[in-house]
Structure 1
């Protein structure tokens, strides 16, 4: 027998419920209704409120129903009763499932969302059936069996539909929640978790195209995460304004059928996205609003009840996870703050430990003084040592005990000064335990409490005995330096040269002697920078003005040593002075330039004397040249005449001797004139001219020696030529002149019975000619000027003293050099070295 038929049979046999049944709690007492005979369908319509009140009284016993309002508890049951009554009165009858429509489905989703489990859902239908039948039976009128059967089938169908839809919805919800839980694993923050959760919702509800979560930020909602759409960057919405703001303020779900045109939608991106249906629910944790989530669809104007239920369920789960994540974040922040605070405490302890180490090992004395009575609360070992006490002996004593009597009277004044400013320094005489005294510099700092009152003073005490000694020594040195400076200035003022001293690197003028003003004809300019030296009227000898870089001072500051830089000073009075300047950098021990010194010498008179001497020399040389050239003509005439006389056979012996003496004198004068001409050419024409041609030097030397033998027949002249090569380019005439001059001097300054020796040897790249004679040596003092013009080694002999000068010029003209060695034991040796090829003339 079915449950409905069994129930009808029971009603027919038992009648009105007994008191025992009520007392056992099987069926609660029902309100008394007027006994008006009605059919079941009419009864359901006319007594619906009484039925629902009776049902509500029983349903309130269900745990899930206790917190619901009357409207939420009754839900769709009034519509269900109306639907059952309508099916009973239809003709022809309709199927129960189609007659009930979507009422059971909607009720199942609502109960699922309200937290009812399946047993409680089925139980509330059973209670509804029991209340209807009991109240109807109390009328004492029974309807047809078909009506009762239809009623039971409708309730059973409602139960079956509700259970089925409840089960499907719960399974779908569980699957979504499982995916959410899986997404939450390994997602410690909202930025990672929310996009996964929203993607789960989008994949679970196919009609959903976009999901947005906005979290509360004070009085605003800000976008936290979104899927399927991107809102404006930094999008914020005030609570109470717009679609999401209204959901947040009312804390109730909200639906929009056309989001693109709904004025409550404030996001421009959301309006332009083409969304139609928009459904939003608040994220509530108890009474606390955490945010709002809404989903949208581009294909549908409305979401199904099941989809809305799913969003609400996911919203509830999201709320808990958001709250948990926020709590986790707060915990992490609190933990970080605690760790930071702990680190600060550790750092403070470390700083305190370091301070204690510094306090203990500091070489400067430190004392902590109580401000109320100037008692020493603590001192470091350095303070105790400098006063000759132990720390224990000083702690608790008055600060005044460490001061000499004459310094104790100022202690109050210094304490007051320390309290009126951040820090205070003063010097005082301190007293040691043994009675000795020492000067000390004290630096005082005060410590204040929260009220700003001074509670402690800290003094650092430095023994300045050495400082005072050093200061006295410094003053003594400064006095000495100033005295030396004054003496130096006095010496510089007496010097004929002007002296400038400037510091590096600026070039600032430090000292200038008075002679500088005399030379410049103007007062010293107080130069502060090297560029300011251009104010002095200084010019090159050619008239160009000196640039800053060309000044001797600037060159010295750059590290250059300048010797004999000549320039011209144009004085303000119009006169011009030639000045010779020298400069040098002054360096310290490390080699750094610290200053520069410049000296000035007025060489105007010297330059004028040099000019006059040069002009006189040039005039004399020109005069000698003219005279020597004009004397050659009459000498040539005399020489020709004497030569003719000497060849005459009729000339008596006496006249022949006279004519011979005239010939020798004429040759001597010709030689002197030739020497003068050579000298003149050498001084005026840039050296004696050399005409070099290819030849053998042996023939040149033999020619010179033969001429000497002819001129000195009574003397012995020897020539030795060593094997070798003597080919080269020579000026034969000039080299014969060298042989003649060197040999003539050797014959003239040697004893008549001593020979004069010539030797010629091959020296490789050069040929060596040596001339040796015995006799008195050349005085050592004459050797340095032996080859100067108009110089003779001794007063004996004739001539102008140009022979050796001409020899040297000819040798230099060949690129060679001449050496001389003269001693009493070895005699005198002239050594000539001639390179085989042409070489540049030596200076």
Structure 2
């Protein structure tokens, strides 16, 4: 048997384990006179022997060979000892051996087919499932279905001195469950590395694993999972209904455990391979990233606009420089590498270089300024940043320096200081000007509205000390009133409108409440201060105190109203005695008994009375114009030619020694006019022209038709009106010259009558052309005044 390859590893006991039982059963058959059938006499010995040999790796030929060798050995022993049995006994022997061979072969084939079917199911389950967590549950499920008496199957993986449940079928296991090697059934299998069978766990001295103890199992069987002498884990199976596993079941379980071992090893190898591949890919990715970073740093080092150098610690020699550092000093990189760093410093800065390097070695980095030297000998300021690199022991092994030319920075700093000085000077001058201004000035920031600046006049105007406010809501603390008495809201203040909406406010009059309670009238002006992009940066407010002016205006207005009322009363009361004088003089002039001398005196009295009457009427018109809203105008349809001709005739009668001409151009002159007032206009303008013109020169009236309006021009020669008198020519109680009498109300009344007709009045006066008054009156009373209604030009 030792010549068989499968038997060479078996022990002597394994070779003869079932032979005594077999030979004893054959011997009993041979001595019986009527031996039982061979299959009954041999019992299960051939079956068990076949399963044992199948489990040991014997093929079918080797199993048959073992029986042939057994037969040969018996026959040789008989021949050697001279023992020859009867033909019946010999036939029984050969029939028994043949039956044993037949039974073994049959059992072997049946067990092998069952095992192959189970292995095929396992292989199918393992296809495409390289990881343990996916194929183990399927393998255990196949085992449970193949062996009907098996209720629980589990595989535990060895992790040092512990066993962890990798997969289980028929039992609930906590994910973190661990068992120790040497404890329980699984621990005993792992410790001895031999299969362990428990027939009845309730009476067996060996306690099964705590994993299976609570499952109510009767029998349990554990097999170590060994690969090249290394323990990978333990496979367990158990039954709740049976206390015995058949040899075929045990063989099948061991076979599947062996297949589990190989798959587990393969899965672990695959997992290790995957992990190694992942680690390799990660390492490769890190290497590529490191290479990319190195390339980026090389690009940065090469193209950086700041000079960068690497120096040795021992002697300060330049190990590498970037192009910017070389250009900064007027060298090439090749010319600088290998030279001491101090050669790039100006002589006056080289003495401090060692001190700065010592400071840089004592901390993470150090920054300082120094003078450097170019190749052409010129000097320039540089800002240097030094970083010291250390090894694992903390020893400085290299230094890196970054160098920036700060020439422009120095120039810019000097310019900045100059500008700051100028700004401070301008600010001081502005503050001085603001303090001396006779108006209050306030400056606020946009868009918060924070008050930033105020002058002393503003504080005196408001009656309080200036305090910066944070936002526009604080403006509500100030009390201001519109001219109609309404209080100002927060967003209505001129400064708030300028800050919020960019509004420009000019001369807005308002009343403010002072701190002590008194009111002041002010003119407020505000405007936004904008930046280059047009955004509002701040706002400025000015307040002019017009309280004294308003008081003076009120006093003057009261005095004027009093004088006008007085004039009206006096002129009205003078009419009665003047009428009595006029009637008496008229009666005397019509008397034939009055001597010529007294007649001349009466005529002078009559003219003086007429003059006083006109003066009283002018005073009454003036009073009506000031107190009654203007001289009353009563327009009626009529022809303006007749009205003007009437006025001219009255002038001719009053001035018989002067020439008064009337020219009426072709056209239509019908319209609505106040004929009496228009005669008054003709009389006043004509009297004014006759009074201020040479005696021999004519006064000309010219009437024109201009469509919607009628124009009347009055022209006279003589000295022109002084230019300074033209703006006040139509003011009451004023005269262009000192000659002549009257109150100076004639032209004022003319202007009021023309305005009452919604017309316009102008005057031109030059030495060569003389003086011309031009008035334009619309035919209809409705509508606004004409374009010349604003007054004299």
TM bin, normalised by shorter chain, reads: 0.7 to 0.9
Q: Which residue of 1 aligns with 2:276?
A: 334
Give 1:759's match in structure 2, choosing from 705, 724, 731. Answer: 705
- 1 CA distance for matches of 2:760 and 2:32? 159
1:454 aligns with 2:454: no
- Assess, with a 3 A threshold, how the Cα gap between structure 1 residues 634 and 423 changes in structure 2: closer, same or farther: same
- 2 CA distance for matches of 1:125 and 1:487? 131
1:463 aligns with 2:405: yes
Unaligned runs of 5+ in 2: 652-661, 691-697
Conserved in 1, the CA contact under 8 Å of 2:502 and 2:536?
A: no
1:174 aligns with 2:120: no
Q: How does 1:365-764 map to 2 (within 5 A)?
A: 365-501=307-443, 512-519=454-461, 523-525=465-467, 527=468, 530-531=470-471, 534=474, 538-541=478-481, 558=500, 560-561=502-503, 563=505, 568=512, 570-571=514-515, 582-594=525-537, 596=538, 598-601=540-543, 603=545, 606-614=546-554, 616-617=556-557, 620-621=560-561, 624=564, 628=568, 635=575, 666=613, 669-670=616-617, 672-674=619-621, 676-682=623-629, 700-702=636-638, 706-714=642-650, 716=662, 747=686, 753-757=699-703, 759=705, 761=707
Say which SS state the counterpart of residue 755 (structure 1) adopts.
strand
- Assess, with a 3 A threshold, how the Cα gap between structure 1 residues 202 and 502 changes in structure 2: closer, same or farther: farther
- 2 CA distance for matches of 1:601 and 1:383? 61
Deviation at 1:327, TM superposition (A): 1.8
Q: Which residue of 1 aligns with 2:177?
A: 236
- 2 CA distance for matches of 1:792 and 1:302? 151
- 2 CA distance for matches of 1:84 and 1:462? 110
Q: Which moved more, 1:451-460 or 1:561-570?
A: 561-570
Say which SS state the counterpart of residue 530 (structure 1) adopts.
coil
Deviation at 1:373, TM superposition (A): 2.4
Conserved in 1, the CA contact under 8 Å of 2:189 and 2:196?
A: yes
Conserved in 2, the CA contact under 8 Å of 1:645 and 1:651?
A: no
Conserved in 1, the CA contact under 8 Å of 2:38 and 2:95?
A: yes
Deviation at 1:281, TM superposition (A): 5.1
Conserved in 2, the CA contact under 8 Å of 1:786 and 1:804?
A: no
Q: Which residue of 2 aligns with 1:3?
A: none
- 2 CA distance for matches of 1:98 and 1:778? 169
Deviation at 1:463, TM superposition (A): 3.2
| Deviation readout 1:97-118 (Å, 9 max, x if unpaired) | 4555555445544443443332
The two structures have a TM-score, normalised by structure 2, of: 0.74
Say which SS state the counterpart of residue 451 (structure 1) adopts.
coil
- 2 CA distance for matches of 1:737 and 1:130? 177
Conserved in 2, the CA contact under 8 Å of 1:531 and 1:548?
A: no
- Assess, with a 3 A threshold, how the Cα gap between structure 1 residues 179 and 353 changes in structure 2: closer, same or farther: same
Say which SS state the counterpart of residue 372 (structure 1) adopts.
coil
Q: Which moved more, 1:321-330 or 1:127-136?
A: 127-136
Conserved in 2, the CA contact under 8 Å of 1:507 and 1:554?
A: yes
Give 1:348's match in structure 2, choosing from 280, 287, 290. Answer: 290
Q: Which moved more, 1:585-594 or 1:787-796?
A: 787-796
For the aligned residue pairs, the C-alpha RMSD in angstroms reads 5.5
Say which SS state the counterpart of residue 481 (structure 2) adopts.
coil
Conserved in 1, the CA contact under 8 Å of 2:449 and 2:472?
A: no
Deviation at 1:350, TM superposition (A): 3.8
- Assess, with a 3 A threshold, how the Cα gap between structure 1 residues 443 and 717 changes in structure 2: closer, same or farther: same
| Deviation readout 1:541-585 (Å, 9 max, x if unpaired) | 3899988767777666657355357573644x7766666555544
Deviation at 1:445, TM superposition (A): 1.7
- 1 CA distance for matches of 2:177 and 2:625? 114
Unaligned runs of 5+ in 1: 1-57, 692-698, 727-731, 763-767
Deviation at 1:413, TM superposition (A): 1.6
Deviation at 1:393, TM superposition (A): 3.9
Q: Which residue of 2 aligns with 1:364?
A: 306
- Assess, with a 3 A threshold, how the Cα gap between structure 1 residues 354 and 648 changes in structure 2: closer, same or farther: same
Conserved in 1, the CA contact under 8 Å of 2:589 and 2:603?
A: no
Deviation at 1:128, TM superposition (A): 4.4
- 1 CA distance for matches of 2:63 and 2:380? 101
Give 1:117's match in structure 2, choosing from 59, 81, 89. Answer: 59
Deviation at 1:610, TM superposition (A): 0.5
- Assess, with a 3 A threshold, how the Cα gap between structure 1 residues 86 and 519 changes in structure 2: closer, same or farther: farther
Deviation at 1:152, TM superposition (A): 3.9
Say which SS state the counterpart of residue 374 (structure 1) adopts.
coil
Q: Which residue of 1 aligns with 2:655?
A: none
- Assess, with a 3 A threshold, how the Cα gap between structure 1 residues 482 and 194 changes in structure 2: closer, same or farther: same
- Assess, with a 3 A threshold, how the Cα gap between structure 1 residues 130 and 523 changes in structure 2: closer, same or farther: farther
Conserved in 2, the CA contact under 8 Å of 1:704 and 1:740?
A: no
- Assess, with a 3 A threshold, how the Cα gap between structure 1 residues 643 and 400 changes in structure 2: closer, same or farther: same
- Assess, with a 3 A threshold, how the Cα gap between structure 1 residues 140 and 620 changes in structure 2: closer, same or farther: farther
Q: Which residue of 1 aligns with 2:657?
A: none
- 2 CA distance for matches of 1:748 and 1:303? 156
| Deviation readout 1:636-660 (Å, 9 max, x if unpaired) | 9987998999999988797899779
Q: Which moved more, 1:511-520 or 1:833-842?
A: 833-842
- 1 CA distance for matches of 2:191 and 2:781? 121
Q: Which residue of 2 aligns with 1:41?
A: none
- 2 CA distance for matches of 1:681 and 1:384? 96
Q: Which moved more, 1:173-182 or 1:555-564?
A: 555-564
Q: Which moved more, 1:409-418 or 1:361-370?
A: 361-370
- Assess, with a 3 A threshold, how the Cα gap between structure 1 residues 377 and 748 changes in structure 2: closer, same or farther: same
- Assess, with a 3 A threshold, how the Cα gap between structure 1 residues 648 and 344 changes in structure 2: closer, same or farther: same
Deviation at 1:410, TM superposition (A): 2.0
- Assess, with a 3 A threshold, how the Cα gap between structure 1 residues 840 and 761 changes in structure 2: closer, same or farther: closer
Q: Which moved more, 1:340-349 or 1:789-798?
A: 789-798
| Deviation readout 1:732-758 (Å, 9 max, x if unpaired) | 78x778866766665555676523426
Say which SS state the counterpart of residue 649 (structure 2) adopts.
coil
Conserved in 2, the CA contact under 8 Å of 1:688 and 1:809?
A: no
- 1 CA distance for matches of 2:438 and 2:649? 63
- Assess, with a 3 A threshold, how the Cα gap between structure 1 residues 175 and 834 changes in structure 2: closer, same or farther: farther
Conserved in 2, the CA contact under 8 Å of 1:708 and 1:743?
A: yes
- 2 CA distance for matches of 1:544 and 1:137? 150
- 2 CA distance for matches of 1:146 and 1:761? 171
- 1 CA distance for matches of 2:153 and 2:730? 117
- 1 CA distance for matches of 2:404 and 2:684? 90
Deviation at 1:431, TM superposition (A): 3.5
Say which SS state the counterpart of residue 754 (structure 1) adopts.
strand
- 1 CA distance for matches of 2:326 and 2:87? 117
How many residues get paired?
746
- 2 CA distance for matches of 1:709 and 1:336? 123
- Assess, with a 3 A threshold, how the Cα gap between structure 1 residues 648 and 553 changes in structure 2: closer, same or farther: closer
- 1 CA distance for matches of 2:244 and 2:759? 125
Deviation at 1:709, TM superposition (A): 4.5
- Assess, with a 3 A threshold, how the Cα gap between structure 1 residues 196 and 398 changes in structure 2: closer, same or farther: same
Say which SS state the counterpart of residue 477 (structure 1) adopts.
helix
